[in-house]
A and B are shown apart, each in its own frame.
Chain A
Amino acid sequence: MAQAAAVAKPPTPPRRRRASATPRRLPYLLIAPAGLLMLGFIAYPVISVFYYSLQHYNPTKPWRNGFAGFDNFVHLFTEDPLFWDTLVFSAKWVFVEVGLQLMFGLALALIVNQTFVGRGIGRALVFSPWAVSGVLTSAIWVLLYNSQTGITRYLADMGIGDYGTSWLSDTSTVFSAVVVADLWRGVPFFAILILADLQSVSKDLYEAAEVDGASRFQQFTHITLPHLKDAIILSTLLRAVWEFNNVDLLYTLTGGGPAGVTTTLPLYIANTSVDAHNFGYASALTTVAFVILLFCSIVYLRLSKFGGESK
């Protein structure tokens, strides 16, 4: 109590005085709806996932249900090759997707940040796929990749690819096919976040650099990139977590196939719980996914020294 007052007082004396004029309970009242919703529908489910991960819990096999200890985890790490396969695919998926999205998104943001005729409409058009859902993206690319009437047929006419092969059902092409489909929607996300931050760079900096004879490339590496650093770190992290967790697109586009080669860990979890009703095992998988996510996020934030200078 005394400590809190000592910390809070010096920086904001007037605010403190004002706040004391209003009921002390006001801030608690204000965060109560959000707090209660999050406790009930995020915190409690998370805890119950941890709890279920230590149980055998399968409504279709009730005779086995009960406390399992670490059985689920032992099985997961030692006897389940699918877990490792999906983990490897998840890593590959996140790495390739986020890397390409960052690269193209940065380029796109730099382009539409220029002043040119038709900028407004240009921006609206290139950003439009961002609004499109995973399911709709899947629907669109199912049409494009359709072997009979899709764009693949017209590309085959031009000598790119073969007739009659569907890129989504061939294990050698399916990865590129889903990556391109997700890029279509993901690049605009990066571009918007980066563009938002680009607009806050003071133009004076560039003018000063110009006077000092800096080339455009030097201006980019010495002014633009350092300024964008935080935005890039944060959007990369958010996107990586999002791409890892996202099941909409893969679930509807390939269902994890063919032959399971596009099954990410979260998709595997969804299949294990929704289709196989093996809730205990799915919960153990979820727990492992949490730990991996948390660990990767911490390592990433540490490596990029994010937050070190901000507070």
Chain B
Amino acid sequence: MITKEAAPAAPAPARSAAEPPSRPARKRHRAWDEVPRWHIYLPLGIYLLFTLIPFYWILLFALRPAGSTSLVPWPMTTVHFEKVWTDRAFGTFFQNSVLVGVATLLATTLVALAGGYALARFDFRVKRVFMLALLCSQFVPGALLLVPLFEIFAGLQMINSLGSVIIAETVFQLPLSIILISNFIKNVPYSLEEAAWVDGCSRMRAFRVIVLPLLRPGLIAVGSFAFVHSWNHFLFALMFLNNQEKQTIPVGLNTLMSADSVDLGALAAGGIIAAVPVVIVFAFIQKWLITGFSAGAVKG
């Protein structure tokens, strides 16, 4: 630091003829992407308020006693959580949601990995048709196919079984996942795999040992996407699961909201239970998510 400051001091007069003197100084202190601090902190602060006040509000309702209008959740109570967890069956909903989320995550990742590998590494005859089908299915709204889907699952005797929701969530998660994963695989040099074959690896082993570790950020991004989507989505569960024992958390929340007299404390507590797993997932994958997206960005 000291040497850097000292060095330009001597030749400064000679340089100032060619360049304005402030220029090198500015370049040293501020990188290309830096603007004055308040340009960052002021808008970010305002946006943070908009983001966090709703979160605070739900915490407030969940933690303060019913009927209180205090803006600080003190004295704190856990009565809403207890009520929602046991009386409103959120414990059961939670288990069901975890099951659906994890199963969807595994199914989506495996199926999309196979499909993505085929798209990234082979030329085959139905490839273009398959790609086109993937793109088109992006425009097919799952919500609008409820009636035929219901009939299919009724025919398969899967109404009231979590399997129907897992299949539906997986299917609608697949197209984007396949596109993302195939882009991730394309980013892994093919020569790496070929080198492994030359060394005597089977195709499967080469994939497992060479490609799979490099795909980790992509798989985490795709898997967490699948988990969060199935955790959050409620229409399939609402339609295909009639039995309260089988319901998932979003349906439970909707029930709390549409009750005749809305119990705000219970609603807030239920909302927090619904948010916790997702928040944890995102806290862990934050880093991978953005690199994962920029690596696998849907660029064709």
Contact = CB atoms under 8 A, between A and B. Distances in A.
Interface residues of B, number: 104
B285 to A, nearest CB: 10
A101 to B, nearest CB: 13
A252 B231 contact: no
A35 B167 contact: no
A178 B148 CA distance: 30
A37 B124 contact: no
A287 to B, nearest CB: 9
A114 B300 contact: no
Contacts of B267: 139, 142-143
Given A42-B145, A45-B145, A139-B271, A34 B300 contact: no
Interface in A141-157: 141-144, 146, 149-151, 153-154
Given A142-B267, A252-B254, 6 more contacts: A15-B123, A19-B122, A131-B232, A136-B250, A144-B57, A273-B147
Interface residues of A, number: 109
Interface string B131-166: 001000111111111111101100000000000000
Contacts, number: 282
Interface stretch (B5-13, B208-216, B273-281): B273-281
B256 A37 contact: no
Contacts of B41: 116
Contacts of A41: 149, 152, 167-168, 171
Given A30-B114, A140-B271, A230-B299, A135 B138 contact: no
A123 B286 contact: yes
A125 B175 contact: no
A156 to B, nearest CB: 13
A309 to B, nearest CB: 10
Contact of A282 (B43, B147, B270, B274): B147
Interface of B: 27, 31-35, 37, 40-41, 43-44, 47-48, 50-55, 57-58, 61, 69, 71, 110-112, 114-115, 117-119, 121-127, 130, 133, 137-149, 151-152, 167-168, 170-172, 174-175, 178, 190, 194, 197, 203, 228, 231-235, 239, 250, 253-254, 256-258, 262, 264, 267-268, 270-271, 274-275, 278-279, 281-283, 286, 289-291, 293-294, 297-300
B293 A192 contact: yes
B289 A45 contact: no
Interface string A117-136: 00010111111110111111
Contacts of A134: 232, 234
Contact of A294 (B112, B121, B139): B139
Contacts of B291: 199
B118 A143 contact: no
Given A114-B35, A114-B40, A140-B54, A44 B253 contact: no
A241 B123 contact: no
A310 to B, nearest CB: 5
A37 B144 contact: no
A174 to B, nearest CB: 16
A115 B31 contact: yes
A245 B111 contact: no
Counting from the closest, the 3 A-B pairs by CB-CB distance are A133-B232, A245-B141, A45-B148
25 contacts: A26-B203, A27-B122, A30-B114, A31-B130, A33-B114, A35-B115, A44-B152, A45-B148, A45-B152, A111-B44, A115-B34, A116-B37, A135-B234, A136-B253, A139-B253, A139-B256, A140-B58, A153-B69, A199-B291, A246-B143, A248-B233, A252-B254, A282-B147, A289-B141, A310-B300
Nearest to A310: B300
A279 B146 CA distance: 10
Question: At the interface, is chain A mostly helix, strand, loop or mixed?
Answer: helix
A210 interface: yes
Contacts of B35: 114, 216
B203 A4 contact: no
